[in-house]
């Protein structure tokens, strides 16, 4: 059993009745005491109090504290990024996803030149931070493909990250050397039966292999480690505790890297007619985001265009550190390929310029570029001086 699997197993988060009882047992007064701790540090007990039903009356106070903590650690800035979908072919059959291999929709894979055509549009809009996204398509989206694409993207983008299928550690190291310096990989659900229900076939059906992947990319020197659960599949309070344990484990072990949380909520997707037992309301999502911020002061908080404009506007003022804008979730979507299938429907369809204007009106600076490769380049020797 891997270290993180062992950590989660010891907590018995799969004992839903026991955890629900524990969460329900917190009192409003206990939550108030927890809020006296402004350290931004994590303990499981603290987070459990903050995601408990007893914390609901404290949301306004939690938001006030989260805003202060975010401003102190990140300044009054929000990074902007855009996803670039490179393939919607997939060998998995996640029941909530438009790219499910059993779906009949045609598949689109972008050649390097086609991907660059989309990337050029994003660069012209101002983006310097790009997220490569793909279905699990290992026969097309190979390590060589990713390295070649990264080499072409590097002159245009200061930050290149990837949200792709799990790789081996040495493959992650190879794409890191090619300039991809962050990976996001959602466990989707930390609850094994829930995970099995929604991932019935393909490599992704192996829960443990997926759980182990962040260790592999973190140990391959990735600077940005993105985690998340797909909200709607399992009990959000218990999923938040498991997600936090995973993040805490990674942050302690790979302290040079930055952990980020994303909060993908289920969205309508092509050919998907599933019913979800655990849909998360706006208020619950806010509670989850605030609770994680108050326990992980240095973590990135990412909010994508899955969310509505009004919801994103409100959270931009509180704890978000990174936002996508103008997103297309189909390969070739920026350069006009409406025939290619999208992964899910975006909710915030504003242009990048409109989102940047919103961020400014929220009293934050939109940041298109937050990193320069020169920061990690070998130092140039100082010229010799003679005395």
* Site residues, ligand SF4 (CB under 6 A): 90, 92, 94, 97, 99-100, 135-136, 204
Residue 186 Cβ, how far from ligand SF4 at the closest point, in Å?
8
Q: What counts of helices (H) and strands (E) characterise the chain?
A: 14, 9
Among the listed residues 239, 254, 241, 242, the one whose alpha carbon sits nearest the alpha carbon of residue 182? 254
Q: Residue 90 or 243: which CB sits closer to ligand SF4?
A: 90
Query: Rounded to an integer, what distance in angstroms lies between the CA atom of residue 230 and that of residue 240?
Result: 11
DSSP 109: B
Q: Residue 90 or 110: which CB sits closer to ligand SF4?
A: 90
Residue 119 Cβ, how far from ligand SF4 at the closest point, in Å?
20
Angle, CA 27 vertex, CA 22 and CA 33 arms, to 5°: 110
Angle, CA 243 vertex, CA 102 and CA 12 arms, to 5°: 100
Residue 151: count other Cβ atoms within 10 Å of its Cβ. 12
Residue 171 Cβ, how far from ligand SF4 at the closest point, in Å?
17
Residue 267 Cβ, how far from ligand SF4 at the closest point, in Å?
12
Query: Rounded to an integer, what distance in angstroms lies between the CA atom of residue 83 and that of residue 257?
Result: 21
| C-beta separation of 70 from 293 below 8 A | yes
Q: Residue 158 or 341: which CB sits closer to ligand SF4?
A: 341
Among the listed residues 133, 150, 234, 159, the one whose alpha carbon sits nearest the alpha carbon of residue 189? 234
Q: Which residues lie across from 180 on neighbouring strands?
A: 160
Query: Rounded to an integer, what distance in angstroms lies between the CA atom of residue 286 and that of residue 234?
Result: 17
Residue 204 Cβ, how far from ligand SF4 at the closest point, in Å?
5
Strands (E), 211-357: 224-228, 258-262, 300-303, 322-324
Residue 265 Cβ, how far from ligand SF4 at the closest point, in Å?
14
Phi, psi (degrees; rounded to nearest 5) at 78 = -135, 125
Q: Residue 204 or 278: which CB sits closer to ligand SF4?
A: 204
Phi, psi (degrees; rounded to nearest 5) at 46 = -65, -45
Residue 130 Cβ, how far from ligand SF4 at the closest point, in Å?
18
Residue 93 Cβ, how far from ligand SF4 at the closest point, in Å?
6
């Amino acid at each position: 059993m891997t270290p993180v699997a062992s950590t989660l197993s010891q907590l018995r988060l799969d004992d839903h009745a026991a955890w629900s009882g524990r969460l329900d047992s917190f009192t409003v007064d206990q939550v108030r005491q927890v809020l006296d701790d402004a350290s931004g540090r994590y303990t499981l007990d603290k987070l459990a109090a903050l995601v408990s039903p007893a914390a609901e009356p404290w949301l306004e106070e939690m938001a006030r504290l989260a805003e202060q903590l975010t401003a102190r650690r990140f300044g009054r800035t929000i990074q902007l990024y855009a996803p670039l979908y490179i393939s919607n072919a997939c060998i998995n059959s996640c029941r909530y996803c438009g790219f499910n291999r059993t779906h009949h929709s045609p598949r689109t894979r972008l050649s390097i030149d086609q991907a660059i055509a989309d990337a050029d549009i994003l660069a012209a809009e101002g983006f310097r931070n790009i997220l490569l996204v793909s279905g699990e398509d290992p026969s097309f989206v190979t390590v060589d493909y990713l390295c070649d694409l990264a080499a072409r993207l590097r002159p245009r983008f200061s930050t290149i990250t990837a949200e792709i299928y799990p790789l081996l550690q040495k493959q992650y190291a190879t794409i890191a050397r090619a300039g991809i310096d962050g990976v996001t990989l959602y466990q989707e659900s930390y609850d094994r039966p829930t995970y099995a229900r929604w991932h019935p076939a393909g490599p992704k059906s192996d829960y443990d292999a997926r759980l182990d992947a962040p260790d592999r990319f973190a140990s391959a020197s990735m600077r940005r480690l993105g985690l998340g659960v797909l909200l709607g599949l399992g009990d959000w309070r218990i999923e938040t505790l498991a997600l936090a344990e995973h993040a805490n484990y990674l942050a302690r072990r790979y302290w040079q890297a930055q952990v980020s949380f994303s909060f993908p909520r289920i969205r309508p997707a092509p050919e998907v007619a599933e019913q979800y037992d655990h849909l998360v309301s706006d208020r619950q999502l806010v509670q989850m985001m605030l609770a994680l911020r108050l326990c992980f002061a240095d973590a990135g908080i990412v909010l994508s265009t899955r969310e509505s404009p009004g919801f994103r506007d409100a959270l931009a003022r509180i704890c978000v550190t990174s936002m996508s804008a103008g997103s297309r979730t189909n390969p070739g979507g920026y350069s006009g390929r409406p025939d290619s299938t999208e992964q899910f429907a975006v909710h915030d369809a504003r242009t990048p310029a409109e989102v940047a204007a919103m961020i400014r009106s929220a009293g934050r600076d939109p940041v298109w570029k937050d990193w320069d490769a020169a920061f990690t380049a070998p130092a140039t020797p100082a010229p010799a001086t003679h005395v």
